[in-house]
Structure formats: C-alpha cells, structure tokens
Amino acid sequence: MNPEKDFAPLTPNIVRALNDKLYEKRKVAALEIEKLVREFVAQNNTVQIKHVIQTLSQEFALSQHPHSRKGGLIGLAACSIALGKDSGLYLKELIEPVLTCFNDADSRLRYYACEALYNIVKVARGAVLPHFNVLFDGLSKLAADPDPNVKSGSELLDRLLKILVLESVPDINLLDYLPEILDGLFQILGDNGKEIRKMCEVVLGEFLKEIKKNPSSVKFAEMANILVIHCQTTDDLIQLTAMCWMREFIQLAGRVMLPYSSGILTAVLPCLAYDDRKKSIKEVANVCNQSLMKLVTPEDDEPDEPKPVVQRQAEPNPEDSLAKQQGTASGGPDGSCDSSFSSSISVFTPASTDRAPVTLHLDGIVQVLNCHLSDMAIGMMTRIAVLKWLYHLYIKTPRKMFRHTDSLFPILLQTLSDESDEVILKDLEVLAEIASSPAGQTDDAGPLDGPDLRVSHSELQVPTPGRTNLLNTSGTKGLECSPSTPTMNSYFYKFMINLLKRFSSERKLLEVRGAFIIRQLCLLLNAENIFHSMADILLREEDLKFASTMVHTLNTILLTSTELFQLRNQLKDLKTLESQNLFCCLYRSWCHNPVTTVSLCFLTQNYRHAYDLIQKFGDLEVTVDFLTEVDKLVQLIECPIFTYLRLQLLDVKNNPYLIKALYGLLMLLPQSSAFQLLSHRLQCVPNPELLQTEDSPQAAPKSQKADSPSIDYAELLQHFEKVQKKHLEVRHQRSGRGDHLDRRVVL
C-alpha cells in the first residue's frame, strides 16, 4: 500500500495499524476508527462517515494484500458499532465488501469476514431484512466450508439472523412466502454437501409442521405443481420429501388439489411399482393415490356445476405455474409419461372469488391413465392402480367418463393380454362396468370394433336398448334368440364382438386365458347375456376353425364351471320359453362343433335329438381331432356334472334314446381307454333288452321327456347339416379337394 497516499480522515497511525499482520494492532486501529466515527455521528457529518466506509472498503477490504483485507473487515465492523441504529443507512456499503471476502482463498480471512458480518447484523438488526437474499446466499456457501472455524462462524451468524432479524419483525408469517422459496429449498436439498442437505431437510420439516398447524393460511394451490415436479426427480431424498409433502397437501387441502390431479397422478403412479429399495417412497405414493381417489365424488358428474370450496386465495392456472418452475414436469423414472405431455394436462382457470369452484377435469386425468396403461414397460402395481382409477371414475362420474370410452376401449381390450392375473381381473371389472352401466345406454355407442373385424356392423344388427333381437330364424317356431334377462347397454354387444375378435387374432390368449376371462365375465355380468351374444356373433363368423374352437371353449365353460351352475339348471329342463329360446340360440352356433352340439343335447336332456345327430356323424369326415372330441365327451360324462344323466340309465324304459346315443358314441370310438370306459358304463344298464324301440304301444317312450312344441328339431337338424357341410367345404378347399363341392352353401 502506498504510504504517500492520503487516507484522511484516517490518521497515518490508524492506516499503519490496519495493515499490520498482528491482530492486536489491527484491533487497536478498529477502536480508533470507532471513536472517530462516533464523533462524526455526533456532528451529523454523513459525508465523512461515507468517506471512511468507502476508504475501508476500497483501499483495505478489497485490497490485494491479505493483512490489509483483514484490517478493512475489522474497520467496517467498528464503523457499524459506532453508527448504532444509524447503521441501517449505510448497510449496502458495509455488507457488500464483507460478502466478497466470503469467497477468499484464505480460511482465516473468511473467518474474519464472518466475524465482521456478525457484528454488523447484530447492530443493524431488522434493518438487514432487505438484504436477506444476499446474506442467505453467502451463508449457504459457508455452511459447507471445509474449515471448521469458518463453518462454526457461519452457524453463529445464521442463528443471529434467525433470532435477531426475524424477531425484529414479529408479524412475519413465512408461510405466506413459502410458494416463492419452496422450489429453491428442494433444489438445495439436492446439494452435494451432506450437511447442507441435512440442514435443508430440517428446514422443510419445520415448514411442514407449521403447515399442519395452520392449514387455513397455506397457499396449497400455488405449490402443487412445485411438488409435482420434485416428486418425479431421480434423487431419492428429494422425491421422498416431496411425496410426503404431497400426501399432507392432499389430506389437508382436500378438493383444492383436484384441478392438479393429472399432474399428481403423473408423479405418483410410477412410484407404485417401485421395489423394496424404494419402499418408503412407494408407501407414501400409495397413500397419496388413495387419498386423491377419495376426493372424487358423484357430484363431480354434474354438468357445469363445479362444487364450491371455501379457500383464502384463488388457485392459479396449474399450467402457468408449471411454466414458472424448472420447465415442464419431467417423466418419472419408471416409464411415466413424457414431459411435453405432463405440461399440458392440468388446465384450470378458477374464478377470482372467495368461494372458488373446484372442477374435476377428466380430460387430463384420463389422458394420464391412458398413457400409463399403454406403456408396456410400466410396472404391474401401477397398471392395477390405473385400472382401479378407471373403475372408480366410471362408478363416481359415469356420464362424463363415457365421453372417453371410445378412446379407452382399445387399450382396455389390449390389457386382457397382460401377464398378470390381477391386472386382467381389474381390467375385466372396468370392461364389465362399461358394458353394464346405465350411463352407456345410448342408441349408438360409437364404433369400437376395428376395421379388420370379420363380423362387421353390416353383418350384425347391433341391438338397441330395451330389446336384444339377436336371432330370429323363420324356421324356428315362434322363438326369437333374445335374452330373457334385462339387456346390457349399447357397449355390451360391441364388447363381445371385440373380445371374440381379440381371441381370434390372439389364439394363445384364447388357449391360456380364454376360459379364465369368460368365467370372470360371467360373475361380473349376466352369464345368459354373454352366451347369447357370443353364440349370435359366432353364428356369422367366417373363420370356421376359430368358430369351432371358440364353441368348444364356451361349451367346456358351460358344462364345467361353477359360475355357470344357474345357467345349466335353466337349460337342463327347458321348461320355460326363455330356456328354450336360449337352447336354440346356443344350438345354432354349437353346430360349428358336432361333439359339442351332442353335449348340449345331453345337458338339455334332448336325448332323441342327440341320437339323431350321432346318426349324422356317419356322413361327416372323421378326423383325429373329431375322435379326440368324442373321447373328451366320454370323459365328461363320467364327471359330476352329468350325474343325473348316469342315473337316468337306470330307467331304461323311459330313456331308450339316451342309451342308443351312448352306444352310438361307443361305435364311433376306436378300441381305446375311452371306449373301455363307456363300454363298462353301458354294461351297468339293468336290462338291455328293453332298448327295443319298434313302433309298438309297449315300446313307445311315453315317459321320455316330451319334445317342446316350440322347438322345430327337424329344422335344427337341417341347420346342423348345413353348417357341417360348410366346414367340410372349407377343409377341402385348404387341401385342394374342393372343386366338386357346392361352394354356394351358406349359413
């Protein structure tokens, strides 16, 4: 430092002492500066006061010489002490050079800077509040200082700011400013310094406690999107903390959070599939999901009548809030929706009144759910949660949800191919609700079947609500193929069309899960309606091999599933017009598979017609598959489902056609285990001589169950022959042997 330079009003002794390497000499100089400044304060000489501060700042605190910088710091502190309450007038000039020294490479100098700022703040008290941001920024850097003395000094200064500064403004409510600093706090929580993260975690915890104590003064809506963003980070601590905040917000704010549902779901749903390594996040996310779901009520289905909620401030537009944060919400780490999607899913413009209406925006929510369900990489628990949401929305807000059904239906059908049984069960619940909800009762539910569906709308007359005329064949005496039970809505029949289409295109799905899916649907919907509609659709199926396979699957379910007990009993006696109607409807499609047709006749105790059918088997092409079907039927006859049939063998006189039909099956079989099984059963018939059925009064089967006058069995037999002829034609065409066949045969 140039000794010739004039530092007045500082004396040469003061200047020399400030530059000394010994702390004690610099301290003496500081006392002289304090005395000098007090005199200027007494004289109200502001010009000289500013000149002293400027000299200490420019010539000493910001000097290139380390001892001079140390002298400048202690001199500035002495000025502040001398100024007392008037120090607030010069705070900017006092603070800035001290904060610059926070970045000094010398740890001792950084410590002296902490000491100087401590004395300045202690004197100025509340006057430093306008400079809080720069002070906080400086302290945040020193909090992770590698030197323990500097770090300790910063902690003392930090406590002084909290105790002196904040107490000097007793009416301050930091919750009012939380929306402005919350994003910054979460960013600090991701700092590389362990101590900084720990301190920030404590601060956030204190804020959350205050929120729980005073929820009425919290601006929940202004912070919702901040939490959405940080709930999707890859940092476990930030994500867990943000998710805990989200949980409390949903539970404390209630329906105020509904406009942000789409963003919340984007953040929460992927977390539900986390493994045990992120168990804590998964558990909190699950609570968030359940709590948010409970906020949706039937009132949300009312058109243009949002439910008012009392709150202290109007919510901002969630999309605008997102734009003010760190860009758009990013995708979750487990395959959630992309950022461009997240930024446009929660558009909400509330009224600027004290009673702001809260509206459930289904468009964004459904878009999020559809996005996650369509993502094949998404976890099983997330897919289940999505399906639970869809089911809940169809229950609580059916009218609004049916506006989205056409877009949801394809992915719901695709989900039937999921690897998880739990996912399929939830998926079927949603589909069943769609197919049975009164809200779906429209004249035209919209096209749900794809363009490659073999059974097109031109071929099928989709039933209108109130009556389902599935089949009305003129050859059947007065019977319409329509369910006797109340019909489903307009989506039911289209659901059956698309389900069969999916089975046709994915044969593995039919083989592995077909029976499981149909049995569950029979529990969720009306079994008779399901079998009626599928039978009608299959009657017009062009892929005859698929039709035969599907009929075999349906027949097996009908005969063996406990879920179909009531339907079997309905068909067993054909006592009512409805049961006869059902039999005729099933029979026409069952004709795609000769053996299943016989089993249907056995089930309905149409033994004479079964015998007539078996007689026709001699005209069919007997293949290995055909014999396998007969073998399975024999095995089925030995099952509990046909106990009544076996007991009827004891009444030979009144059931001759039953015995003749069984003997017909026996004659079809080669010498196999099934042949032996059926042969042994027939050997148990009491008196074979009573099998005579000549046209004599004694041999007439007067007690045989009389054929229903409403059923034209001759016409049914002709229909069977036509269907089987068509099957034979197709098989021969495939093998190149079909030139001689009548290609004009149609169903």
CB 211 within 8 A of CB 310: no
Top-confidence residue, 368 or 322: 368
DSSP conformational letter for 298: G
pLDDT of residue 684: 86
Express as a percent the part of the chain with pLDDT over 90: 60
Q: Which of 460-469, 593-602, 619-628 has the highest mean pLDDT?
A: 593-602
Mean pLDDT for the stretch of residues 117-130: 88
b/e string for 456-493 if b means 16 or more Cβ within 10 A?
Answer: eeeebeebebeebebbebeebeebbbbbeeebbbbbbb
Instruction: Report the range of poorest mean pLDDT among 188-202, 292-306, 674-688.
Output: 292-306
Digit-coded pLDDT (tens) for 387-429:
999 999 999 999 999 999 999 999 999 999 999 999 999 999 9
Digit-coded pLDDT (tens) for 297-336:
999 987 655 455 544 443 444 444 443 343 433 333 333 4
Top-confidence residue, 454 or 696: 696
Q: What is the architecture of the domain spanning 12-168? A: Alpha Horseshoe (1.25)
Tokens linked to 516: 């499981």
CB 553 within 8 A of CB 559: no
Instruction: Report the range of poorest mean pLDDT among 192-201, 265-274, 341-350.
Output: 341-350
Sign of CA dihedral 152, 154, 157, 163: negative
Mean pLDDT for the stretch of residues 463-488: 39
pLDDT of residue 743: 33
pLDDT of residue 405: 93
pLDDT of 340 strictly over 50: no
Model confidence at 194, in pLDDT bands (50, 70, 90)?
Answer: confident
Mean pLDDT for the stretch of residues 108-113: 93
Top-confidence residue, 165 or 415: 415
Instruction: Report the range of poorest mean pLDDT among 68-77, 125-134, 569-578, 674-683.
Output: 125-134
Q: What is the CATH number of domain 179-299+358-403?
A: 1.25.10
Digit-coded pLDDT (tens) for 566-619:
999 999 988 889 999 999 999 999 999 999 999 999 999 999 999 999 999 888
Digit-coded pLDDT (tens) for 531-553:
999 999 999 999 999 999 999 99
Digit-coded pLDDT (tens) for 221-242:
999 999 999 999 999 999 999 9
pLDDT of residue 353: 32
Sign of CA dihedral 683, 686, 689, 690: negative
Top-confidence residue, 435 or 331: 435
The Cα–Cα gap between 310 and 223 comes to 18
Instruction: Report the range of poorest mean pLDDT among 363-372, 470-479, 653-662, 711-720.
Output: 470-479
CB 540 within 8 A of CB 747: yes
Mean pLDDT for the stretch of residues 41-55: 93
pLDDT of residue 43: 93
Angle between helices 527-539 and 577-590 (to 10 degrees): 40
pLDDT of residue 318: 47
pLDDT of residue 448: 40
Residue type for position 672: S
* Torsion angle in degrees (nearest 10) through CA of 701, 705, 709, 715: -80
Q: Which of 229, 141, 215 is nearest to 182 (CA)?
A: 229
Model confidence at 469, in pLDDT bands (50, 70, 90)?
Answer: very low
pLDDT of residue 351: 31
Write the DSSP string, 592-641. TSHHHHHHHHHHTT-HHHHHHHHHHGGGS---HHHHHHHHHHHHHHTSGG
Fold equal for 12-168 and 179-299+358-403? yes
The Cα–Cα gap between 87 and 123 comes to 7
Q: How many CA atoms lie within 13 A of 21 on its CB side?
A: 0
Structural Rg of the chain based on CA atoms:
43
pLDDT of 85 strictly over 50: yes
Burial class (CB in 10 A: 0-12, 13-18, 19+), 64: exposed
In the chain, domain spans: 12-168, 179-299+358-403, 593-686+710-741
pLDDT of residue 689: 61
Sign of CA dihedral 34, 40, 42, 45: negative
pLDDT of 337 strictly over 80: no
pLDDT of 688 strictly over 70: no
